[in-house]
Structure 1
Amino acid sequence: MAGGGFSRLPNGTVVVAVTLPSPRAEGGMVRVLVHAVNRARALTRLRNLGLRAVYLRGNAHPPTPDEITAVLHHPDGLLWRATPERLEQLWQPIRALLGRQAGAAW
Structure 2
Amino acid sequence: MAAGGFSRLPNGTVVVALNLPHGSAGVRVLVHARNRARALTRLRNLGLRAVYLRGNTAPPTPDEITAVLHHPDGLVWRTAPLDGTSASGLWRPIRSLLRPAALPGR
Q: TM-score range by the shorter chain?
A: 0.7 to 0.9
Pick from 63, 73, 76 the counterpart of residue 76 of structure 1. Answer: 73
Other-structure match for 1:13: 13
SS of 1:100's equivalent? coil
SS of 2:100's equivalent? helix
* Structure 1: 4+ residue segments shifted above 4 A: none
Deviations 1:4-41 (A, max 9, x none): 0000000000000000011xxx4310000000000000
Shift in alpha-carbon separation, 1:42–1:2, aligned structure 2, 3 A:
closer
Alpha-carbon distance in 2 for matches of 1:2, 1:51? 11
Q: Which runs of 5+ in 2 are unaligned?
A: 82-86, 102-106
Q: Which runs of 5+ in 1 are unaligned?
A: 102-106
Count of aligned positions = 96
Identity, in percent, stands at 77
Larger radius of gyration: 2
The residue correspondences of 1:1-106 to structure 2 (distance < 5 A) are 1-22=1-22, 26-84=23-81, 85-86=87-88, 89-100=89-100
Q: Contact between 2:32 and 2:69, CA under 8 Å: does it hold in 1?
A: yes
TM-score in terms of structure 2 length: 0.86
TM-score in terms of structure 1 length: 0.86
